[in-house]
Structure 1
Amino acid sequence: MDLNKRRGIITGAGQGIGQALALEFAAKGGHLLLVGRKEETLKTTADLVQAAGGSAELLVQDLRTPDAVDRVVEAVASWDTVDLLVNNAGNVRAGRLEQSSEEEVRSMIDLNLTAPLLLTRSLLPRLRSSGAGTGSLVLNISSGIALVGMPFYAVYAATKSGLASFGESLRRELHGTGVHVATVYPGATDTAMMSTQNADWARRPVADVVADVMAGLAAGDHEINATPEEGRGLQQLNVTDPLAVDAAIAPGLGELEGAVKDHNSI
């Protein structure tokens, strides 16, 4: 897939995977609308985008709010081409389900699942009309937890699994339209989002995760597994014998709960 000179939107662009993807597309001459909640971090990304050879516009927006999608669509209404949408913005609150507040549950659902669905729906006419040449791209950032649901991440797993199934279904719905839908499954990644999580999970550098993403996109992949190699055996076991995964995780439940109890990026 030709990734050069893309014009499109990246959500959660102020840090982490979103920022790193913005720089990759910038290095290929992209013009990007950077969407996020904090103006300061978006400005930092915009400066880095310019230094990398691209250009950027900013939209400070909380995608959980009712008018957020309309504001994103309005921000690119004057663009001749919209051929990229990266649904990256997300949040997490770990812990036992019965101890999760309704506000925390709704926050994860609204940002991780509802916002990408509504944003993609609203931008599809632009993406389809722009996809006649090199093809448009919808890139959904799911999670390795969508492949192996981990205890104390029930709501987060539900949203990321939902996003993955959304991508799979939409990919089939858009077959032959010129809109390429790809889903990424990062494992634990060394980002600010993970700063309050203390589980003994191997964390990949952001650069390594994004390198896998860009290589997968260039190859035309639809499903991009960016989890650490050492974790993929558990993923395969979860397909063939999920109860064996239950048994493997059970002895460490207490330790895991203590390690993730403060994991909160909301």
Structure 2
Amino acid sequence: MNIAGKRVLITGGSSGIGLAVAQVLVAKGAKVAISGRRPEVVAAVVDDFKAKGTIMQGVVADVATAQGREATLTVAMEALGGLDILVNNAGGVRAGRLENTPEAELQAMIDVDLVAPIMLTRAAMPALRASGDAMVVNVASSIALIGAPFYATYAAAKAGLARFGEALRRELKGEGIHVLTAYPGGTDTPMMKSNRAGPELGFSLEPASAVAAAIVEGIEANAFEVIRGGEARAQMTALNRDNPAAVDERFLGLKPALEDAVKDHSAL
């Protein structure tokens, strides 16, 4: 896909991976609208782009709600004059033991990580069909490939998003809409600030700019997926498929330290 001139909506685009993707796309000539929940943050991002000579539309809305999704799509479509690329990036996490996590926080993860992308994509389908050369980008997680303890619901939502994307890609094959799924590993974003797990526990962090660059390369190549983590991630994913008991044993040895390190990890 040639990105120049493409009209793009990025949910959760005011920080982290979403903002980094917006920066790369704008540099390649795309027209971008972003959504976010925090008015002051969205405004600051839009002002920053404007100061650099780029007009960007910001939408303050919570895509985990029906009203927020409607507002996001309506404002973005009016500003962009259509839609060619939808990036479902907004997400939330709450780590911890399942039985110790409040039901409301579990539901919040499911709503923003799984329900929102499905419903927003459905609402955007007429615009994407009208484009004739469109794409949906779903930002999942490496935890969708290898389930980690204390992230059970997050893993479920992100794995569901990944399979949603795969099935939708096949559903839309030959109809002018491609679907790409991205699997970032640990990324240095505000979402990870309350996570104290380090590389020794499998949480090495890479810059959001590196993840964004890979996602945009995937968009340009019409890739099916973008998986971060290199050969080490590939080997662990293969082991998880071929010998999941071995992965269980690895996590068993890490569980006490991992539980303590992620018990305060919350970004909802």
Q: Which bracket does the TM-score occupy, shorter chain normalised?
A: over 0.9
Structure 2 SS opposite 1:103? helix
Number of equivalent positions: 263
Give matches, 1:1-266, under 5 Å. 1-50=1-50, 54-78=54-78, 79-131=80-132, 135-200=133-198, 201-266=203-268
1:67 shift after superposition: 1.3
1:128 shift after superposition: 0.9
Structure 2 SS opposite 1:69? helix
What are the Cα deviations for residues 124-147 of structure 1, in whole angstroms up to 9, with x where unaligned? 01101112xxx1111100000000
Whole-Å separation in 2 of the counterparts to 1:243 and 1:54:
51
Q: Is the 1:92–1:263 Cα contact (8 Å) retained in structure 2?
A: yes
Supply the AA of the counterpart residue of 1:80.
G
What are the Cα deviations for residues 173-220 of structure 1, in whole angstroms up to 9, with x where unaligned? 000111111000000001111011011221111111112112222222
Q: Quickly say closer, same or farther: Cα 1:180–1:150, change in 2 above 3 A.
A: same
Query: Which stretch shows the higher mean deviation, 180-189 or 3-12?
Result: 3-12
Structure 2 SS opposite 1:95? coil
Q: Quickly say closer, same or farther: Cα 1:233–1:48, change in 2 above 3 A.
A: farther
- Superposition TM-score, scaled by structure 1 size: 0.94
What are the Cα deviations for residues 79-111 of structure 1, in whole angstroms up to 9, with x where unaligned? 532101000000000000000111101100110
Q: Is the 1:23–1:48 Cα contact (8 Å) retained in structure 2?
A: no
Whole-Å separation in 2 of the counterparts to 1:31 and 1:39:
21
1:52 shift after superposition: 5.7
Specify every segment of 5 or more residues in structure 2 that has no aligned partner in the other structure, as ranges.
none
- What is the aligned-residue RMSD (CA, Å)? 1.5
Q: Quickly say closer, same or farther: Cα 1:222–1:51, change in 2 above 3 A.
A: farther
Query: Which stretch shows the higher mean deviation, 146-155 or 6-15?
Result: 6-15
What are the Cα deviations for residues 146-191 of structure 1, in whole angstroms up to 9, with x where unaligned? 0000000000001100100000000000001111110000000011
Q: Is the 1:30–1:54 Cα contact (8 Å) retained in structure 2?
A: no
Whole-Å separation in 2 of the counterparts to 1:242 and 1:218:
34
Q: Is the 2:197–2:262 Cα contact (8 Å) retained in structure 1?
A: yes
1:51 shift after superposition: 5.2
Whole-Å separation in 2 of the counterparts to 1:52 and 1:128:
32
Specify every segment of 5 or more residues in structure 1 that has no aligned partner in the other structure, as ranges.
none
Q: Quickly say closer, same or farther: Cα 1:51–1:183, change in 2 above 3 A.
A: farther
Supply the AA of the counterpart residue of 2:208.
V
What are the Cα deviations for residues 211-239 of structure 1, in whole angstroms up to 9, with x where unaligned? 21122222221111023443331111111
Whole-Å separation in 2 of the counterparts to 1:217 and 1:157:
24
